[in-house]
Structure 1
Amino acid sequence: MPAVIDWDLAVATGVRLVRPGPQVSRDEARQAVAELRRLSREAEGHVKEFTGIDSAPPEEATVVDRPGWIRANVEGFKVVLEPLTEKVGSNMPGIVSAVGSRITGVEVGAVLAFLASRVLGQYELFLPPDPDGNAPTGRLTLVAPNIVHAERELGVDPRDFRLWVCLHEETHRVQFTGVPWLREYLQSQMTEFLTISDLDLSTLLNRMRDVTDAVADAFRGGEGNIIEAIQTPEQKAILDRVTAVMTLVEGHGDYVMDAVGPGVVPSVADIRAKFQRRRGSGSRFDQIIRRLLGLELKMKQYAEGSVFVKSVVAEAGMAGFNRVWTSPNTLPSREEIADPQLWMRRVLGSNALPGQNGSASPNGDEPHRPE
C-alpha cells in the first residue's frame, strides 16, 4: 500500500533541522539523566498518594535527547494515523502518493523539529505493539536537554525544577494506568475523527483554502489555527470531546504539580512564577507558529483544566473529583469545564458537598479508587 507520509523522511528532516541542545559536559549529562530517572519514580509516589488513584507500579522515565524525542513521536504518529493512512492509501494513485508522502514527510519533520526544542516531557500514550502484538500501556519520556535549558534560562534550582516537571508528567502516567479505559476512549475518538474525513478532490481543495486563510489570520494576530481549519462539522463535535478530555488531564497535571509541590519542591512558587512568564514569551514568529499548531489552545487547557479541578476538589473533595474517572459518561464536556457546577450537578448531584482538606469524602471515607 502506498505511504501517505514518508516517515523515514520525516525523521531525517526533523533530526536535520532541530537545534542543538545546551552545552553540557559528559558528567553533567550523565548526572542529569540519572537524577531525572530517580525523580520520576519519586514523583509518582507523591502523585499516587495525593490523588488517590491506584495506578500501575512506578517505573523509571525514558530520558531522551531532541532527536530521540523526534523518533519516538514518529512511532506514535504511525499508530494514531494508521486508520487514515489505510483509507487514503487505498484510494490514492501511486504517483500522487509518492509525491505527496514526501511533501508531508518534510512538513511533519519540520513541525517535530520546532517542537523538539520546546517539549520538556510527555506521556507517550500510543506506542507500536510489542513483539507479541500487544499494545503497550504507555511510556513516560523526559527530554533532558530541554529541561536543562529551561532551568538555566529561568535561573531556578535544578533539582526542584526537575521534580516539578516530573510531578506533572507522572500525573499523566497515573491517570492513564489507573484509569485503563481512558486510553481506549481517546484512541476510539481519534480514530473516528480521522476516518470520517471526506477526502474527495473538491473537499481537499476547499480545506487547502481554509488552511491558507488560517495562516493569514495567524500572521494578522488572529486566533486561526490549522487544526480548526481542516475540520468537518462532524469532526468538530468529536474534537470538542477530545479537547475536553485533554483539558481535564492537562489541568489535573498542573493542579497536582502545584498542590504537591510545596511539600516536596521548596522553591515551587518561584518556579511557577518564572515558568508562567516563560510560557508567554517568545519571538513573534514563534508565537505565530504556536498559534497555527494549536499550541496556544494547549496553554489555555492548562489554565481552564486546573481551575475546573481546583473548583471541584474545593467543593466535593478529592473523592468527589475522582468520580470523573468512573466512565466516559462522567467526563466533563467543554461547557462543564468552563462551569464546574454543571458537572457537579450532573455527576455528583447532592453529593457535591464540601470535602475535608480536599482529600476525603464528606463522610470521611477513603478517596475513591477509579475502576
Structure 2
Amino acid sequence: MPAVIDWDLAVATGVRLVRPGPQVSRDEAKNAVTELRRLSREAEGHVKEFTGIDSAPPEEATIVDRPGWIRANVDGFKVVLEPLTDKVGSSMPGIVSAVGSRITGVEVGAVLAFLASRVLGQYELFLPPDPDGNAPTGRLTLVAPNIVHAERELAVDPRDFRLWVCLHEETHRVQFTGVPWLREYLQSQMTEFLTISDLDLSTLLHRMRDVTDAVADAFKGGDSNIIEAIQTPEQKTILDRVTAVMTLVEGHGDYVMDAVGPSVVPSVADIRAKFHHRRAGGSRIDQIIRRLLGIELKMKQYAEGSTFVKAVVNEAGMAGFNRVWTSPNTLPTRQEISDPHLWMHRVLNSNALPPHNTQNGQNGQNGTTPPTNNDPNNPE
C-alpha cells in the first residue's frame, strides 16, 4: 500500500532545515546530559510526593539533540496517524499517493524543524511497539541543546532551570503512568477524530480554501489556526474533549512545577517571570507560524489549566482535585475548565461550592463511555 506521508523524507527534511544548537564544549555537553538525567529522577520523587499519584517507578530521561527529537516525533506520528493513513492509502490512486506523500513529507519535516529548536522536553505518549509487539507506556525526553540555549538566553541558574523543566515533564509521566486509562482514552479520541473525516474531493477542496483563509487571518493578527480550519463539526466535538484533557494535563504540569519549585528551585520566581516573557516574544513571522500551528492555543492551555487546578486544590484540597483522574466521566469539560466551580459541583457534589452560571452546566463528560482499565509537545 502506498504511504500517505513519506516519513523518511520528513526526517531528512527536518534534519536538513533545523537550526544548529548553541555552541558548547564536549565537557559542557557531557555535564548537561548527566545532570538532566539525574534531575529527571529527582523531579519524579518531588512530583509523586506533592501530587499523591502513585505512578510507575522512575526512569532516567532520554536526552536528545534537535535531530534526535525530530526522529522520535516521526515515530510517534506514525503511531497516531496510522488509522488515517490506512484509510486514505486504501482509497487513493497510486500515482496520487506517491506524489502526495512526498509533498506531505516535506511539509511535516518543515514543521518539525520549526518546533525542534523550541521544545524543551516532552513525555512521548505514543511509541512504536517493541519487538514483541507490546506498546510501550511512554518515554520522557529532554532536548538538551534547547534547554542550554534557554537558560543562557534567560540568564538563569542552570541547575534550577533544568530541575524546573524536569518537574513539568515528570508530572506528565506521573499522570500517564499513574492513571492507566488516560493514555487509552486520548488515543481513542484521536483515532475517532482522524477516522471520521469525509475525504471526498469536494470536501478536500473546501478544506483547502478554509486553510487559505486561516493563513490570511493569521497574517492579519487573527486567532485562526490550521487545525480548526480543517475540522468537521463532528471532529470539533471530539477536539473539544481532547483540548479539555490536554489543558488539564498541561495546566497540572505548570501548577506542580511552580508549587513544588520554591522548596527545591530557589530561583523559581525569577525563572517563571523571565520564561513567561520569553513565551510571549518572538518575531512577527515566528508568532504567525505559532498561531497557525495552534501553539498559541497551547500557551493558553498552560494558563487556563493551571488556574483550574489551583482553584480546585485551594477549595477542595489535593485529594479533591485528584478525583479528576477517576474516569473519563470525571474529566472537566472546556466549560468547566473556565469555571472550576461547575466541575466541583458536578464531580464533588459540594453544595458549599455553588456552580456559576448553572443554567449552562452539564451533567456529564460529553456522554463518553469509560474505556477498559487495562492500560499528547512542550513548545515554548
Alignment partners' CA distance in 2, 1:172 and 1:93: 41
Partner amino acid, structure 2, of 1:97 = S
CA change 1:351–1:249 in 2 (3 A) is farther
Which consecutive aligned stretches of 4+ in structure 1 deviate over 4 angstroms post-superposition?
none
In structure 2, the partner of 1:256 is: 256
Partner amino acid, structure 2, of 1:342 = L
CA change 1:351–1:124 in 2 (3 A) is farther
What is the root-mean-square deviation in Å for CA atoms of aligned residues? 0.8
In structure 2, the partner of 1:289 is: 289
Alignment partners' CA distance in 2, 1:86 and 1:188: 16
In structure 1, the partner of 2:51 is: 51
CA offsets 1:61-94 (integer angstroms, 9 cap, x no match)? 0000000000000000000000000000000000
In structure 1, the partner of 2:277 is: 277
Alignment partners' CA distance in 2, 1:322 and 1:285: 40
In structure 2, the partner of 1:167 is: 167
Q: CA deviation at 1:171?
A: 0.1
Q: Conserved in 2, the CA contact under 8 Å of 1:323 and 1:330?
A: yes
Work out whether 1:267 is the aligned partner of 2:267.
yes
Alignment partners' CA distance in 2, 1:72 and 1:352: 47
Alignment partners' CA distance in 1, 2:327 and 2:350: 19
Partner amino acid, structure 2, of 1:107 = E
SS at the partner of 1:350?
A: coil
Alignment partners' CA distance in 1, 2:127 and 2:198: 27
Q: Conserved in 2, the CA contact under 8 Å of 1:316 and 1:351?
A: no
Partner amino acid, structure 1, of 2:50 = F
Work out whether 1:324 is the aligned partner of 2:318.
no
Alignment partners' CA distance in 2, 1:163 and 1:5: 37
Q: Would you say how many aligned residue pairs link Structure 1 and Structure 2?
A: 354
In structure 2, the partner of 1:204 is: 204
SS at the partner of 2:122?
A: strand
Alignment partners' CA distance in 1, 2:122 and 2:60: 13
Partner amino acid, structure 2, of 1:321 = F
Partner amino acid, structure 1, of 2:84 = L
Q: CA deviation at 1:350?
A: 2.5
Q: Conserved in 2, the CA contact under 8 Å of 1:125 and 1:139?
A: yes
In structure 1, the partner of 2:187 is: 187
Structure 2: where are the runs of 5+ without partners?
A: 354-372, 374-380
Q: CA deviation at 1:319?
A: 0.1
Q: Conserved in 2, the CA contact under 8 Å of 1:137 and 1:177?
A: yes
**Residue pairs, 1:98-137, within 5 angstroms:** 98-137=98-137
SS at the partner of 2:350?
A: helix
Partner amino acid, structure 2, of 1:263 = S
In structure 1, the partner of 2:216 is: 216
Alignment partners' CA distance in 2, 1:352 and 1:300: 29
Alignment partners' CA distance in 2, 1:126 and 1:155: 34
Q: Conserved in 2, the CA contact under 8 Å of 1:6 and 1:101?
A: yes
CA offsets 1:18-43 (integer angstroms, 9 cap, x no match)? 00000000000000000000000000
Work out whether 1:81 is the aligned partner of 2:86.
no
Partner amino acid, structure 2, of 1:10 = A
Alignment partners' CA distance in 1, 2:233 and 2:351: 36
Structure 2 length as normaliser, TM-score?
Answer: 0.92
Structure 1 length as normaliser, TM-score?
Answer: 0.95
Work out whether 1:229 is the aligned partner of 2:229.
yes
Identity %: 92
Structure 1: where are the runs of 5+ without partners?
A: 354-370
CA change 1:234–1:151 in 2 (3 A) is same
Q: CA deviation at 1:352?
A: 6.5
SS at the partner of 1:349?
A: coil
SS at the partner of 2:266?
A: coil
In structure 2, the partner of 1:360 is: none
Alignment partners' CA distance in 2, 1:289 and 1:317: 39
Q: Conserved in 2, the CA contact under 8 Å of 1:344 and 1:352?
A: no
Alignment partners' CA distance in 2, 1:347 and 1:214: 37
Partner amino acid, structure 1, of 2:103 = I
Q: Conserved in 2, the CA contact under 8 Å of 1:315 and 1:352?
A: no
**Residue pairs, 1:138-157, within 5 angstroms:** 138-157=138-157
In structure 2, the partner of 1:343 is: 343
Work out whether 1:70 is the aligned partner of 2:70.
yes
SS at the partner of 1:171?
A: helix
In structure 2, the partner of 1:12 is: 12
Alignment partners' CA distance in 2, 1:4 and 1:218: 28
Alignment partners' CA distance in 2, 1:337 and 1:82: 31
